[in-house]
């Protein structure tokens, strides 16, 4: 009952925000970038909201439940990537662009082909990420609220379409800010309740170690059984992918200048680190201490009810009864809504501002471009919902690996070179990015997730789950070689302009 | 363009603090990071994770000053 009340209150509140934002979001600047009027603190909360997805809140704690301290391998690399993004990318990105990644490239290399390329890669990455989020969301909401998977996905799809189509970036940002505040508060409440109930941190750890079948091995690294090569490729793949994620990068355009963009990332990184720290040090061990071995949360076969992704939800029940369960369910729903809204903004703005505008000759009518934005919002949401229903049974990890792999290998090298290397030509960027894109997709197909787990082969041809270790350097080298050899007069003129 | 020394230094610090994690977790033998730690109640693995994230936060805030006003082009 609490879950339903919280859910309805949440939907009403977010729709009210959308109505408020719709009255203020006029023109391209308002719709794409919230008029660049967010403060660094607000944008920092929104960035934290983008990262603290349902997979962070539920998925990583589930990982601790099975693999112990290796959970940190799925938390720290995102923070590492965000840190490098702050050092190398976000300042110049804000100075060079207005609304999309296409603006940034057009500033240095005004090539229609390159703009279409970056628009398509943004759409591909964001749609893959969106489908992964929707598949996860559908399963979770179905369990939490007793809906069917299809209805859960459709409800999320309709709400995200309303937020983005009417409220634009301002509505998506405020939904994200509120969700981040709710999530942080909920994590803190769970931490306090767990510590009070256990009698302190050392007592909580002792209880977790006593419950875990292998005792204190729970706190040792190596529980996931990954090889050193796999762990290194995971860290590099996630960090490089983070630096190329369009829905994070375009947040730089929602604040007034480069300094504010950098401060936003620092605020976001701090909030993410605080939440991750509490999840890693308190919430995850508490799930083992309170949920593992308790028949109330097990099926007849001994498995966790709803799967291990539900251990935080069960922990909430154990610590705070039905009330805390309802709050956690509603916060999880808000988390999903906010993340998918941010992704939809990235798809729609790339469709309208990079693809549609690039294909027009002469003056671009702003009203027509915004109509395309709204059409793209509806179309991309509908496509994502349909694909999520089709891919319902597929492994979400493949889609996440694909999104991060393409971001790391197709977006990140091109952006970094465009910012820092004057010798980059449009042809070099286009061919380098394409090589990164194709090699990333090839390596994912030949890797363990697709080749073994989806296609059923015995052994993977490529050992890489995250292909950035190979594909990103290939993109860099190709872009460099092509640019050096490029005798195209236009490119040379552009790079020295 | 000329890349500043501070930018490289901060990148090196971030990489150095991050590097041990995949190496320790990927070792064939599981690491001796159970309950033995500087503060006995808190496992060494928790310390390693928390210190890694703390250093990354500090690097993030330090890099703001560094990049302020620099064109990057």
Asked whether residue A193 is assigned to any structural domain, the reply reads yes
Q: Which residues of A touch B42 (CB under 8 A)?
A: 201-202, 205, 281
Asked whether residue A353 is assigned to any structural domain, the reply reads yes
Task: List all residues of chain A from 260 to 279 with a beta carbon under 8 Å from chain B.
Answer: 262-263, 265-266, 269-270, 273, 276-277
- Please give the tally of structural domains in chain A: 1
- Predicted local distance difference test score (pLDDT) of residue A395: 63
* Residues in chain B where the model's pLDDT stays below 70: 1-2, 27-41, 65-73
The full set of domain ranges for chain B reads 37-62
- Other CB atoms within 10 A of residue A102 CB: 25
Asked whether residue A276 is assigned to any structural domain, the reply reads yes
As a three-state string, the secondary structure of B3-69 is CCHHHHHHHHHHHHHHCHHHHHHCCCCCCCCCCCCCCCCCCHHHHHHHHHHHHHHHHHHHHHHHHCC
CB-closest option in A92, A108, A235 to B22: A235
Asked whether residue A404 is assigned to any structural domain, the reply reads no
Q: Which residues contact A108 (CB under 8 A, 6 or more apart)?
A: A96, A418, A419, A424, A494, A495, B73
- Predicted local distance difference test score (pLDDT) of residue B56: 92
What is the C-alpha separation between A116 and A356, in angstroms, rounded?
9
- Predicted local distance difference test score (pLDDT) of residue A491: 47
Domain span holding position A255:
2-398
| CB-count exposure of residue A51 (10 Å: 0-12, 13-18, 19+) | buried
- Predicted local distance difference test score (pLDDT) of residue A448: 81
Q: What is the ipTM of this complex?
A: 0.84
Asked whether residue A360 is assigned to any structural domain, the reply reads yes
pLDDT tens, per residue, chain A with 497 residues: 677 787 788 888 888 888 888 888 778 888 888 889 999 999 999 999 988 887 788 888 888 888 888 888 888 999 999 999 999 999 999 988 888 888 888 888 888 888 899 999 999 889 888 888 888 778 777 777 778 888 888 988 898 888 888 888 888 899 889 889 989 999 999 999 999 999 888 889 889 988 888 887 888 888 777 788 888 888 888 899 999 999 999 999 999 999 999 999 999 999 999 999 999 999 999 999 999 888 888 888 888 887 887 888 899 999 988 888 888 888 888 888 888 888 999 999 999 888 888 877 777 788 888 899 999 999 999 998 998 888 777 666 667 777 888 899 999 999 999 988 888 999 999 999 999 999 998 988 898 878 887 788 888 888 887 888 899 999 999 999 999 998 765 544 434 33
Q: What is the dihedral of CA A305, A309, A311, A312, to 10 degrees?
A: -140
| CB-count exposure of residue A111 (10 Å: 0-12, 13-18, 19+) | buried
Residue A302: give its domain's CATH number. Answer: 1.20.1730.10
Task: Determine which of A105, A218, A222 to mutate to test the interface with B (most B C-beta atoms within 10 Å).
Answer: A222
Determine contact, residues A343/A130, Cβ cutoff 8 Å: yes
Task: List all residues of chain B from 11 to 40 with a beta carbon under 8 Å from chain A.
Answer: 11, 14, 18, 21-27, 29-35, 40
Query: Does A79 lie at the interface with B, CB-CB under 8 angstroms?
Result: yes
């Amino acid at each position: 009952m609490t879950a339903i009340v919280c859910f309805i209150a949440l939907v009403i509140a977010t729709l009210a925000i959308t109505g408020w934002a719709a009255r203020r979001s006029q023109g391209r600047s308002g719709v794409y970038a919230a008029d660049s009027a967010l403060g660094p603190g607000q944008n920092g909360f929104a960035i934290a909201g983008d990262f603290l997805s349902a997979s962070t809140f539920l998925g990583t704690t589930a990982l601790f439940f099975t693999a112990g301290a290796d959970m940190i391998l799925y938390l720290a690399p995102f923070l590492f990537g965000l840190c490098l993004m702050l050092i190398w990318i976000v300042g110049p990105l804000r100075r060079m662009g207005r609304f999309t990644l296409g603006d940034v490239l057009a500033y240095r290399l005004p090539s229609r082909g390159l703009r279409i390329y970056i628009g398509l890669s943004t759409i591909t990455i964001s749609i893959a990420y969106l489908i992964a989020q929707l598949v996860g969301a559908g399963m979770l909401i179905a369990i939490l609220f007793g809906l069917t998977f299809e209805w859960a996905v459709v409800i999320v799809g309709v709400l995200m379409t309303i937020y983005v189509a009417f409220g634009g970036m301002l509505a998506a940002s405020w939904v994200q800010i509120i969700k981040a505040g709710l999530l942080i508060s909920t994590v803190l409440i769970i931490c306090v309740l767990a510590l009070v109930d256990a009698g302190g941190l050392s007592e909580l750890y002792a209880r977790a170690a006593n419950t875990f079948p292998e005792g204190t091995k729970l706190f040792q690294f190596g529980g996931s059984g990954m090889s050193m090569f796999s762990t290194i490729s995971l860290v590099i793949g996630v960090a490089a992918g983070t630096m190329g994620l369009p829905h994070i990068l375009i947040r730089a355009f929602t604040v007034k200048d480069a300094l504010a963009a950098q401060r936003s990332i620092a605020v976001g990184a701090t909030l993410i680190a605080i939440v991750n720290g509490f999840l890693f040090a308190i919430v995850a061990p508490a799930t083992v201490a309170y949920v593992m071995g308790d028949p109330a949360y097990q099926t007849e076969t001994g498995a966790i009810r709803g799967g291990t992704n539900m251990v935080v939800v069960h922990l909430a029940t154990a610590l705070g009864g039905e009330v805390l369960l309802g709050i956690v369910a509603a916060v999880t729903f808000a988390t999903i809504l906010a993340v998918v809204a941010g992704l939809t903004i990235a798809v729609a703005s790339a469709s309208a501002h990079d693809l549609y505008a690039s294909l027009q000759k002469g003056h671009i009518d702003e009203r027509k471009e915004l109509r395309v934005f709204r059409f793209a919002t509806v179309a991309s949401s509908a496509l994502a919902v349909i694909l999520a229903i089709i891919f319902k049974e597929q492994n979400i990890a493949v889609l996440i690996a694909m999104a991060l792999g393409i971001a790391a290998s197709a977006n990140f090298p091109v952006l970094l070179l465009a910012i820092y290397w004057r010798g980059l030509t449009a042809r070099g960027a286009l061919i380098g990015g394409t090589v990164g894109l194709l090699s990333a997709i090839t390596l994912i197909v030949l890797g363990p997730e697709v080749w073994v787990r989806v296609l059923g082969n015995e052994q993977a041809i490529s050992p890489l789950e995250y292909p950035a270790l190979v594909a990103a350097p290939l993109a860099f080298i190709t872009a460099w070689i092509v640019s050096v050899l490029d005798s195209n007069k236009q490119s040379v003129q552009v790079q020295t302009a | 363009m000329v890349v500043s020394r501070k930018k490289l230094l901060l990148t090196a610090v971030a990489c150095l603090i991050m590097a041990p994690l995949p190496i320790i977790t990927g070792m064939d033998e599981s690491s001796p990071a159970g309950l033995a730690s500087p503060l006995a109640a808190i496992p060494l693995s928790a310390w390693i994770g928390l210190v890694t994230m703390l250093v990354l936060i500090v690097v993030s805030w330090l890099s703001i000053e560094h990049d302020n006003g620099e064109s990057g082009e």
